[in-house]
Amino acid sequence: MSVDDEKALLAGIPTGLLIGGEWRDAAGGKRFDVLDPSTGDVLASVADASPEDGIAALDAAVAAQDEWAATAPRKRSEILRGAWQIMQDRKDDLALLMTLEMGKPLAEAAGEVVYGSEFFRWFAEEAVRITGRYGVNPEGSGRTIVSQHPVGPCYFITPWNFPLAMATRKIGPALAAGCTVVVKPAELTPLTTLLTASILEEAGLPAGVLNVVPTTSAGALTEPVLKDPRLRKLSFTGSTPVGKRLLAQAAENVLRTSMELGGNAPFLVFDDADLDAAVTGAMLAKFRNVGEACTAANRFIVHEAVADEFAERLTAEVEAVKVGRGTEEGVQVGPLINAAAVSKADDLVRDAVDRGAEVRLGGGPVDGPGTFYAPTVLDRVSAGSDILRTEIFGPVVSIVRFQDEAEAVRLANDTEYGLVSYVFTQDLARGQRMIERLQTGMMGLNVGVISNASAPFGGVKQSGVGREGGFEGIHEYLSTKYTMTPSPFA
């Protein structure tokens, strides 16, 4: 990609707020800069929505709700499918834009376009399959008609780490179900959402059905929106502490909520594992998205008998990883999102080392422009180290060792999070025991990447509430009503 390609792309990205079908400036006229984390350069200046703009966006969503709910499912489906097609046609633009504003390598950004756009195609297919049922009550005296209805206007808050997929995973099912939407993208990565919104417009989405309000005042904009009795649903993807705060706010109006929160994924390698597969899986589960994924393997829990070999082979793979700006050929690990992310990873590494962890590779920030952290492997991490309790969100492997299956399960479940676990074993019965014993909403059995639009993504414990994707995903945006009628034979 040349600098000219980058400039040409950025020149075509809308930078206003999208409210009621109009791209406009923020009420106070404020704007903010979006930066390239690999250089610190300014990519674009984006309108900075005020709380007043947040309410204007909700006004637009409320005004569009009835007509959108009454729009034929086939029409809603075709708009989503059309947007999916435009995303395929513009996949290079979407990928480059994500790499520029978020830093992930271009090949991974291209992978996110495939994954993220698929939520539009999948839910285009689901939009026309919303069904109910008709039943005879046990007494025979009545008939129940069960029907599904759009929840109503929704408010979405998305994070910066998957700027496309975290938005489409919510927008796709909401639009398919007949809900209108206000999206507040992360301040660090609003451009991908703005381009996605313009793609949906191009696909024929009516004005007001999707509204986008980037802001530097997430809390101030969100509070009045959540207090507004016209809002029906909050869907949030982000950290557990912010999610808890939002759940408390949402309780006031008893809002429907979906919460996709933080993780602390265990990656279990048993002594009967195929180590080739385990190392390949470990590279994907740890280094995909520079380690900045809720699904990232956070704790490698490895049987003592294979731990040395696994650690040596993994370290050799990590050593070969190319670090650099995501647009450069062959780069596998880009910069972290900002300086705070580098400090956080480094603090966790230092704490682990202070408590006795052995540094097999890396162990510190990379000098120079950009916010890079050296790919790092820590072995024999001691119990009690912060790194075992905290989401690392960086390219750091931390290995602990276990003696038997019961200990592995105890270690894996020793966290308040429950998003995903990874298990490598060739013993089918053991794999099945792990499905039943590991307290996570998702599991990768002999694979290092689990995400797929057809699967119900989500966590248990403090990793969240609700599911995105799969057959389940659209039900987050539908409410069930039953109607009792007398028996027609009474």
Residues belonging to the active site: 260
What is the rounded CA–CA span in Å between residue 165 and residue 243? 19
Among positions 155, 160, 372, 373, the unique one binding ligand NAP when judged by CB under 6 A: 160
Q: Helix axis angle, 218-227 relative to 51-70, nearest 10°?
A: 50
Q: Least separation, in Å, of the C-beta of 18 and ligand NAP?
A: 16
Residues 6+ apart with CB under 8 A from 79: 175, 200, 203, 204, 205
Interaction between residue 242 and ligand NAP (CB under 6 A): yes
Residue (301 or 392) nearer to ligand NAP, CB? 392
Which of 98, 203, 261, 408 forms a contact with ligand NAP (CB under 6 A)? Answer: 261
Contact partners, residue 297, CB within 8 Å, separation at least 6: 265, 266, 267, 282, 285, 286, 397, 422, 448
**Beta-carbon neighbour count of residue 369 at 10 Å?**
12
Say whether 248 sits in a helix, a strand or coil. helix
418 to 437: interface string for ligand NAP, x by CB under 6 A: -x------------------
Task: Annotate each residue in 98-137 with x if it binds ligand NAP (CB under 6 A) or - if it does not, as one string.
Answer: ----------------------------------------
Nearer to ligand NAP, 224 or 364 (CB): 224
Let me know: does 292 contact 259? Beta carbons within 8 Å.
no
Q: Which of 152, 238, 365, 444 binds ligand NAP (CB under 6 A)?
A: 238
CA distances from 472 to 70, 71, 122, 173, 458 (A): 22, 22, 12, 10, 11
Pair 116, 169: CB distance under 8 Å = yes
Nearer to ligand NAP, 57 or 306 (CB): 57
Q: Does 26 bind ligand NAP (CB under 6 A)?
A: no
Residue 226 Cβ, how far from ligand NAP at the closest point, in Å? 9
Of 146 and 220, CB closest to ligand NAP: 220
- Return the number of the residue (152 or 441) whose C-beta is nearest ligand NAP: 441
Q: Which stretch binds ligand NAP (CB under 6 A): 234-242, 300-308, 326-334, 471-479?
A: 234-242
Structure tokens at 237: 């993807």
Q: Is 266 helix (H, G, I), strand (E, B) or coil?
A: strand
**For residue 382, which of 406, 351, 407, 404 has the smallest C-alpha distance?**
351
Mark 391-420 with x for binding to ligand NAP (rule: CB under 6 A) and - for no binding. Answer: x---------------------------x-
Among 61, 127, 186, 374, binds ligand NAP (CB under 6 A): 186
Q: How far is CA 314 from CA 64, 156, 276, 380, 423, in A?
A: 53, 38, 10, 14, 16
Q: Contact 268/422 with Cβ under 8 angstroms? A: yes
Q: Which of residues 439-478 bind ligand NAP (CB under 6 A)?
A: 459, 464
HSE-CB of 383 using CA atoms within 13 angstroms: 8
Minimum distance from CB of 190 to ligand NAP (Å)?
8
Q: Report the residue number whose CB is nearest to ligand NAP.
A: 238
What pairs with residue 486 in β-bridges? Answer: 142
Nearest to 475 by CA among 222, 241, 256, 327: 256
Distance CA 167, CA 87 (A): 14
- Give min distance, CB of 180 to ligand NAP, in A: 20
Closest to ligand NAP by CB, 245 vs 461, is: 245
Sheet hosting strand 142-150, strand order edge to edge: 133-136, 142-150, 478-486
CB of 254 to ligand NAP, least distance (A): 19
Q: How far apart are CA 77 and CA 82, in angstroms?
A: 8
The residues that bridge with 136 in the sheet, in sequence order, are 143
Using CB under 6 A, which of the segments 98-106, 144-152, 157-165, 473-481 binds ligand NAP? 157-165
Nearer to ligand NAP, 79 or 293 (CB): 293
Q: How far is the CB of 330 from ligand NAP (least distance, A)?
A: 26
How many chain residues bind ligand NAP (CB under 6 A)? 27
Q: What number of other Cβ atoms are within 10 A of residue 276's Cβ?
A: 9
Q: Note whether 46 binds ligand NAP by CB under 6 A.
A: no
Q: Counting contacts by CB under 6 A, is residue 159 touching ligand NAP?
A: yes
Minimal distance, residue 131 CB to ligand NAP, in Å: 27
For position 222 contacting ligand NAP by CB under 6 A, the verdict is yes
Query: How many residues are there in the chain?
Result: 490
Which residues form the interface with ligand NAP (CB under 6 A)?
157-162, 166, 186-188, 218-219, 222, 237-239, 242, 245, 260-263, 294, 391, 419, 459, 464
